[in-house]
Structure 1
Amino acid sequence: MKPGARLQAVAELLEDIASGGVADAAASRYFRERRYIGSKDRSSVAERLFAILRRRARLDWWVNRILERSPDSPPPAARHRLIADLILVDNWGMQKFLDSFDGEKHHPAPLSRAEKTLIEKLADQPLDHPEMPRWVRFEVPEWAEGKLTELFENDDAELAALNENAPLDLRTNRLKCDRDAAMEALKEQGLTVEAAPWSPLAIRVEGRPALGNLPAFHEGIVEVQDEGSQLVALLADAKPGQWVMDYCAGAGGKTLALAAEMENKGRLVASDISAKRLMRAVERLRRAGVHNAERRPLDGEHAQWFKRQAGKFDRVVVDAPCSGTGTWRRNPDMKWKIGPEDIAELQVKQREIIAAASKLVKTGGRLVYATCSILPEENEQTIAGFLADHPDFQVVPVTKIWAERIGTECPVEGDFLRLSPKKHGTDGFFTAVLEKKPQTSTT
């Protein structure tokens, strides 16, 4: 692809995302529909796309300032963001724009008068400006800046880490081998890897290799899973022979991890409101060598089945739908798609889900609640509300489980696991483990 064609691809993807598309899915679909685009071009387009998404607030601030747009104006056009990025980051001059924005086939359309004005007035400006509000400088939504500042106790490094590139983590599949063997296999296949610090199964990979081409991936030796997510499955402490429910299984990432901990022994049920998402787990389960798992959609057709399972499960893991604030470094576009009203709606949904899932837990069994959110209202507050309504459950400190299950130094203190990108090098995760108390006699 010529440079102009790459820029046009970025502009089209930015427009797709601005109209509601999700960056990862939009990019995958775009390249799938254009298989003629080579790997180097795909990498170049994706790299600039995600870089612009990580700089969106600052780019928009400059565009609005130069074009004298009011704060209430709609977000700037995708092309304006692209143009601002090329000037502020790559220091493009007018002639370079005229050479690429020429309207030729697969190139961006010629510059408008407003775009030429933008280029002229942005020349020689820095990306960061002292007049930028704090939420703009740290690339977080304005509504979230105060919450996050309080949560992180004014630690600017924590805010900045939410916008950094996330590492690529793999989970060793214990059904196939141990971590040392998996790392050796990956090294032999050309990867640079190291053991991640917290999960005894986690392998951190340098760069962004094409995992789909690796024998270690095809053979089910490793799966892509953030180290923080691996810890959620480990803290469930699922044992061989138990009955375990992955209540919000999605495409089965934690189901795979739970199956390995159970050594393929016992009953493992993956459930989700989306039968389509569960279907995506089929190939992953087969590749990993899992054969003790079954799928049960959370729909009306299976409602009676779930009622009959009340009080039967040793472990019920609830990876609840959430704001995803802990994954912003992986999904920088998603931070601009949610607001306070969405958080309020999610809180209601989370309380409904954990209450429904708790009915499946047997006496002495455990309910594991997790989110990839860093907001207390989706985490500690949800647990507090649940415990107030369900006095038959009690908290099991994660430090206690960690000592028994993992044995290394626990990354947190207190009852709950709360992880952050800056402090722990993982996505932002929250995990609480609750145990159902034995019934007390009233006689």
Structure 2
Amino acid sequence: MTPEGRHAAAIDLLHAVLDQPRRPADAIAADFFRARRYIGGSDRRFISDLAWGVLRQRLRLEWWLAEVGARITPRLLVLAHLILVEGLKPTEAGRRFEGGRYGAGSLDVGELGVAQALVGKPLAGKAMPEAPRLNLPEWAYPGLQARFGATLAEEAAALEANAPLDLRANRLRGDREAALAALRAEGLKPEPMRFSPHGLRLPHRAPIAASPAYLQGLIEVQDEGSQLIAALVAARPGMRVLDYCAGAAGKTLAIAADMQNQGRITACDVSAPRLEGATKRLRRAGVHNAETHLLTPGDRFAKRRAGTFDRVLVDAPCTGTGTWRRNPDARSRTTGEDLAELLAKQREILAISAQLVKPGGRLIYATCSLLPEEDELQVQHLLDARPEFGTVPLAEAWAEAGLPGDAPCPGPHLLLSPAAHGTDGFFCAVLTRAA
């Protein structure tokens, strides 16, 4: 593709994303490129990088476009990105839109005026309100300010960075040393993780789904923070474990390895496609002690299985503020109304899952959110409603899980962030039910 054609395709991809505001951008991009198989690998990477670069800076770009009186369109977002992020002059930026039938079309007089108005403007200027200056949506700003206080700017900057590719060695197929050797034999350069004893990290994304180590089930893609949450379940061989919001079963896979394929894990979710994907992953990983269950309206699962599980993991649906490095579109896709709905859903899920824990068992509540209202405030609400539950301090839970060294953060719960720990943002509380 010509350079102009690449920019035109990025604008088309952004059109698709903005036209479907409730759908994740990565799913839209998968459909976009599937329908355009003629786009080669290097072109695809350029188009994706440009579109994701715009999405990563969308809040700031939109603020500046509004400031100069321009409409918010994919073309103008790309134009603003070229000037404010890449530092091009208006004439240089304009050439990226040309190219005849393969280009996006030359800039008109109004668009040239917008380009001129943006020249010399800092991407994150002092004139901007703090939320857009830090690239944070207004609905999430109060909670993040309450969480981080004086370190908010540092944490916000880390949430803008590109995330590494984190992998977990599947101990049902081999240990971390075996995974390390296999990946290095493929020409990759992973390094052992800082906290997870089974984790490996690649600094940049790679086509890992085509790796023999992945196809053979020796490794799984999983953020280090997610690996630590699965470890804090402290599942042991012979236990009955419930992964109540299992999704594609990433944590189920890690828990099965801790259980050495002995005992029983039940992976539940409300999405049949996600559970179908989970079944395939479980099979590839060599997991034999797991079953899946589709939760449906009127389902009597919780009533039938009340008080029967040694461990119940609730990886609750949340705003995903801790994953913005990987999902930059979520900054704009999620709203304050979504947060309110999720808070109600989290309380409902916690109330149901608490019933499933046997006396003496544990409830592990986790989110990939950095907002206190989705994290410790939800835990406190459950503790107030169910006095038979108490908190297992993080240091104690960390040691019981057999994780190396000291727990990575103070306080009773696990709270990970990109700036402080190099992981996605995660929260995890370990609760115990009185015997």
Q: Quick check: TM above 0.5?
A: yes
**What is the letter of the counterpart of residue 41 of structure 1?**
D
**Structure-2 residue corresponding to 1:237:** 234
**What is the letter of the counterpart of residue 60 of structure 2?**
R
Range that drifts further, 27-36 or 195-204? 27-36
Residue 279 of structure 1 and its aligned partner are, at CA, apart by: 0.6
**Structure-1 residue corresponding to 2:373:** 377
Deviations 1:210-269 (A, max 9, x none): 112211010111110000001110000011111111100011111111111111111111
**What is the letter of the counterpart of residue 284 of structure 1?**
R
Residue 121 of structure 1 and its aligned partner are, at CA, apart by: 2.5
Residue 95 of structure 1 and its aligned partner are, at CA, apart by: 4.3
**What is the letter of the counterpart of residue 434 of structure 2?**
K
Residues 1:324 and 2:320 are matched in the alignment: yes
From the superposition, tell whether residues 143 and 310 of structure 1 become closer, same or farther in structure 2 (CA, over 3 Å). Answer: closer
**Structure-2 residue corresponding to 1:221:** 218
Unaligned 5+ residue runs, structure 1? 70-74, 439-443
Deviations 1:126-170 (A, max 9, x none): 433331222122100123223322311221211211111111100
Deviations 1:350-389 (A, max 9, x none): 0100111111111111111100011111111111111111
Following the alignment from structure 2 to structure 1, what is the Cα–Cα distance between the partners of residues 412 and 203?
A: 33
Following the alignment from structure 2 to structure 1, what is the Cα–Cα distance between the partners of residues 172 and 188?
A: 22
From the superposition, tell whether residues 120 and 390 of structure 1 become closer, same or farther in structure 2 (CA, over 3 Å). Answer: same
SS at match of 2:432: strand
| Alpha-carbon RMSD | 1.7
Following the alignment from structure 1 to structure 2, what is the Cα–Cα distance between the partners of residues 350 and 98?
A: 48
Retained in 2: the 8 A contact 1:243–1:314? yes
**Structure-2 residue corresponding to 1:10:** 10
**What is the letter of the counterpart of residue 360 of structure 2?**
G
Match of 1:425 among 413, 416, 422: 422
SS at match of 2:220: strand
Match of 1:333 among 323, 329, 335: 329
Match of 1:395 among 391, 397, 404: 391
Q: How does 1:124-273 map to 2 (within 5 A)?
A: 124-155=120-151, 156-273=153-270
Residue 18 of structure 1 and its aligned partner are, at CA, apart by: 1.5
SS at match of 1:175: coil
Residue 54 of structure 1 and its aligned partner are, at CA, apart by: 1.6
SS at match of 1:191: coil
Unaligned 5+ residue runs, structure 2? none
Retained in 1: the 8 A contact 2:83–2:90? no
Following the alignment from structure 2 to structure 1, what is the Cα–Cα distance between the partners of residues 385 and 156?
A: 34
Retained in 2: the 8 A contact 1:53–1:332? yes
Paired positions, count: 431
**Structure-2 residue corresponding to 1:72:** none
Residue 94 of structure 1 and its aligned partner are, at CA, apart by: 4.5
Retained in 1: the 8 A contact 2:302–2:352? no
SS at match of 1:410: coil
**What is the letter of the counterpart of residue 35 of structure 1?**
R
Retained in 2: the 8 A contact 1:191–1:206? no
From the superposition, tell whether residues 105 and 180 of structure 1 become closer, same or farther in structure 2 (CA, over 3 Å). Answer: same
Match of 1:31 among 26, 30, 33: 33
Residue 300 of structure 1 and its aligned partner are, at CA, apart by: 4.0
From the superposition, tell whether residues 60 and 304 of structure 1 become closer, same or farther in structure 2 (CA, over 3 Å). Answer: closer
SS at match of 1:323: coil
Following the alignment from structure 1 to structure 2, what is the Cα–Cα distance between the partners of residues 121 and 414?
A: 49
From the superposition, tell whether residues 94 and 244 of structure 1 become closer, same or farther in structure 2 (CA, over 3 Å). Answer: same
Match of 2:53 among 51, 54, 69: 51
Retained in 1: the 8 A contact 2:395–2:406? no
TM-score, with length taken from structure 2: 0.95
**What is the letter of the counterpart of residue 190 of structure 1?**
G
